[in-house]
Amino acid sequence: MDPAPDASSATSSQVLSDKSSPALSDNESSDSSVDNSSQSNTMSKMSGSPINNVPDPEFSEKDTITLMSTRILEIIFDYALNKFDDCRDRLEAGRPRFIEVLNEFVRAGAQIDMALPAFPFKSANKVYKALGFLPDKAEEIALARLHNMCRRIEEIYEPGAKVVIISDGLVYNDLLSISDRHTWLYGLALRAMAVEKGFTNIGFSRLRDFVSSDSDFKLPESLDEISYVANATNFRRFILNKFGKDDLDVDHLIAVDEDTRLTYQGYRRFLMSDLRHIFTLGADRTSNAYKRETKYLAKQMLVRGYAFAGAIKHNFPHHLRLSIHQSTGEHKVSMSLLNTKTGFTTPWHCSVALMADGEWMSAPMGDFKENPRMKIVDENGRPSYFREMTEEEFLEDRRQAEEAARLIEKPVVKELQKPERNENFVQWEGVTCDVKNGGKTKRLLDQVDGWLRGGTLTALMGVSGAGKTILLDVLANRSNSGVVHGEILVNGQPRNMASKSLSATVYQQDLQFSTATVKEALIFSALLRQPKTNPCVEKIAYAEEVLNLIGMEALADTIIGASGEYLNSEQRKRLSIGVELAAKPTTLLLLDQPLAGLDSQAAFSICQLLRQLAQNGLSILCVVNQPSARLLQTFDRLLLLGKGGRQLYFGKIGLSCKTMISYFERNGARPCNADENPAEWMLDVTSSTENSNESQDSSEIWKNSPECKAMKSKLAQLRKKFSAGTDLLDGSDTSDAVQQSTPGFDAMALQRAFYKYHCLENMQLRAASPTDPVVSWLTNGAVLHPPAYLS
C-alpha cells in the first residue's frame, strides 16, 4: 500500500512538501528541534573555508566544490526510493538542482542541512496495516537509516549532515480521523526514540518554526499535551490563511502538473485502504460513493498540501529537499525509509518482520498475522515487530498449541454432530415477494432460485435494496409483510411439513437482555424455544454445550451489559449466534450481516465459528457486505442479488475467488486487478451494468448463462432424488397467494419458561424421584441430577 504522497506545487519551480510527516509536537530539547538561529548561522558560515580536503592543483576551487557535492549526492542517492523502474532517471532529472544546493553548503564548509516531511502518525487503518498508534520497530529502522546516511556523509565531509524531519501531522490528521492527541503522542514518542537510540543526526521541527514572532497567531512559550491539542485547530487555520490560495484550481493542477498528479494518485490509493474501516460500506455508502468521497478528500489534502509546501519553503528555504514519495525528481530526492524487498517503504503504513535469515521485511500487519510462522515481539510493553520462527521453533510452537488444545478439549454438542445431516437440502425456486405501497405493487424479490446443503457456507450479497434481508425472512418463514410466491422444500418435503425447529435466524440488531449473564441468556433461550417435550435438564445441558461451542465458557458469568460495556463486538456476535443455536435448529442457520462492525481479525474469527457449525451439519446462509478476499474465500457459494431482488449469480466462489471472477469476466465485466477486492469489484461491475442503458443487464445475462441452466438442472435432480411434491406458497393459483406473517407471540409460554428457569437457578436441586410432583413437572419425568454449575 502506498503511503500518503507529497503535496504538489502550484508551479513546477516551487519546492514541494511531502504529505506524510511526523507529529508537529514541541519538545524543547536541543537535540530534537531546529533552532531558527542555526539556519542563519549556517548561511553566515558560507563565506568560510570550502572543505577540509586539500584540493588538487589541477582543479579549480569550483571544480573541487562540485566534486565533493557530487560525492555527497551519490551517498544520498544510495538511500533513494527504488521501487519504481524509472527511479534513477527521475533522480538524474534533479541532479543539477541538487548539486547547486549542496555547493552552497560545501563552499561555506557548513553542515549539510536536509529537510524531510515524514512521520505524521500511524495509519488510520489499525485493522490491517499498523500495530498501534505509537512508533515501533519500523520507525526505529527508518530513523537509523537516515542517521547512517548522515554518518556516511560525515566520513568524506567533516562538517557532516543532518536531516530535519518536518511534521505535517497536524495539517492532515483531522481529515484522516486521527485525533490531535494521538498526533502529539506519536511525535513525542518518536523524539524519545531518537534520543534513546543516539540518532544525533536527526532533528525535528517545532510548531514555532512556522510561526514568526510578529504573527497574529501566538503560541505558548512551551507546549505540553494539553496546550498542543488546544492550539491544533488554530495552527491548521494559520497555515491555510497565510500560505494557501483561495483561487487554487486543484483539478487544473492535477491535469497539467506531473508532481500534483502523482501526489493525487498516491492520496487516492492510501485513502481507499486507510479509511475503509472507519467509513464502512453499507446501505448508505456504496463502493462507488466511497470512491467519489475519497477523491474529494484527496483534493482537500492537496489544498492543504499546497499551503504547507509554501510554509516549508518560507521557513526552510536553503535545505536540500528530501521526499518519501515518487515525484518527477526535479525538486526533491525521493527517499526509501524502509529499504526492504517489498514496496512498503513508509513505517507508519506497515509493519516490519525479522526473517529467519536475518533480513527485515515490510508488509501490512495483516499479512504477517496470516503467516503462522510469524510471532509478535513486544518492546516497551507493546507490540513492535514480527519475527519469523525457525523450522524447529515452528514445530515446537505447533506441538505446544496442540498439547494445550488437548488439555482444554471439551465435547461438542452431540446433536450437531450427526453426519447424516450433511445430506439435508433446503431448496427454493421462483421465490418472489411483492408489497403494496400507496396503491402500487413493488417487487422486493424477483424469481430467486437456489439451494443450501448441510455442511456448507453460502454468502448472500447485493447492493442496498436488493432484498437480502427479505430473502432471509422468507426462508425463515418470518416475513411479516408482502405476498410471497414460490416453492421452498426441505429434503424434498414442503416446508410446512418440516419441523418447527427447522431454522434459526441471527439478526444484525443486538437484542440481548443487558442485565443477564452469557450463560443465563443461553439457558433462557433453550428453555423458551426448544420443544416442550424436551426435559428442562437436557435443555440446560444443551445450552452449556453451546456455551463451549461458541468459545465463551470463560465468560459464562459475565454480564452482557450495553454495547461495548462488558463484551466486545465479537463476543456479542458470538453470543447472538449461541442464543439461536440454543433453540436447537435442525437444518438451517440464517445470519444477517454477522460481520458488520467487526475488525478483520474478529470477522475472520466469526467466519471460523460459522465454518465449524457448518461442518457439524448445519446449512448456513449469511448476508455479508463487501468482505475482504480472505473472508469471502471462507464461504463455499455465493448468491448475488441486484436491485429489485433480481438474481445475478448463484454458484461456487472458488480458490482465490477465481470461479466467481471468471463468470463475470466471461460475460463482459472489466478484468479484476490483482490489488482489487473481488467482492467490491463484483458489486462495481454488476451495479454499473444494472444502472446502464444496455439492452442486456446482469440479471438477463444470468438467466441465459450455462451456470443458471446447471442450477436449474440441480434443483430438478434434488426434486427427483427426494421424490416429493412441491410446496407452493401461493397454491396452484397465484390469486390465492399466502401472505406470510410472523408467528403469534405466546406470552404464557414465555411466563412458563421463565418460571422454570427461575426455579432451576435458585432452588437446591436434589436427586429426584419420578414420583416427586414438583421435580417431575420441571423435568418432564426425567431423573434429575444437578448440573455442576448449580451445585
Better-scored residue on pLDDT, 186 or 455: 186
Element (H, E) at 155: helix 137-156
Asked whether the beta carbons of 302 and 152 are under 8 A apart, the reply is no
- The beta strands (E) that lie in 498-624 are given as 503-506, 588-592, 619-623
**412 contact partners, CB below 8 Å, separation of at least 6:** 545, 548, 549, 616
- DSSP per position, 472-495: HHHHTT---SSEEEEEEEETTEEG
Rg (CA), the chain: 33
Are 21 and 189 contacting, i.e. CB atoms less than 8 angstroms apart? no
Look at residue 51 in the predicted model and tell me its pLDDT: 47
SS3 436: strand
pLDDT at 737 over 70: no
| CA–CA distances in Å: residue 725 to residues 426, 491, 494 | 14, 11, 7
What average pLDDT score do residues 42-69 get? 62
- Predicted pLDDT of residue 141: 95
Contacts of residue 274, defined as CB under 8 A and 6 or more positions apart, other chains included, come to 123, 124, 125, 129, 176, 349
The string of DSSP codes covering 717-768 is HHHHHHT----BTT-SSGGG-----PPPP-HHHHHHHHHHHHHHHHS-----
State the Cα–Cα distance between residues 486 and 638, nearest whole angstrom.
21
Express as a percent the part of the chain with pLDDT over 90.
24
Mean pLDDT, the chain, rounded, equals 78
Stretch 240-258: mean pLDDT, rounded? 89
Which element (helix H / strand E) includes 109? none
- Mean pLDDT over 396-420 rounds to 60
At residue 320, the pLDDT reads: 92
Rounded mean pLDDT of 290-306?
90
E strand intervals along 364-494: 374-379, 382-388, 425-437, 440-453, 457-462, 483-490, 493-494
Q: How far is CA 59 from CA 48, 64, 571, 692, in A?
A: 19, 6, 75, 71
Q: What pLDDT does residue 469 have? A: 87
Residue 577, SS3 per DSSP: helix
pLDDT at 329: 64
pLDDT above 70 (res 787): no
Surface-to-core class of residue 337, CB atoms within 10 Å of its CB (0-12 exposed, 13-18 middle, 19+ buried): buried
pLDDT digits (tens, 9 = 90+) for 619-663: 899 999 878 888 888 899 999 998 888 999 999 998 888 899 999
Out of 57-71, 131-145, 345-359, pick the least confident: 57-71
* Of 783 and 210, more confident: 210
CB 73 within 8 A of CB 62: no
Identify the bridge partners of residue 559 per DSSP, sorted by sequence position. 517
Q: Which residues pair with 112 in a beta bridge?
A: 161
The strand pair at 425-437 and 483-490 is best described as antiparallel
- Has residue 675 got a pLDDT over 90? no
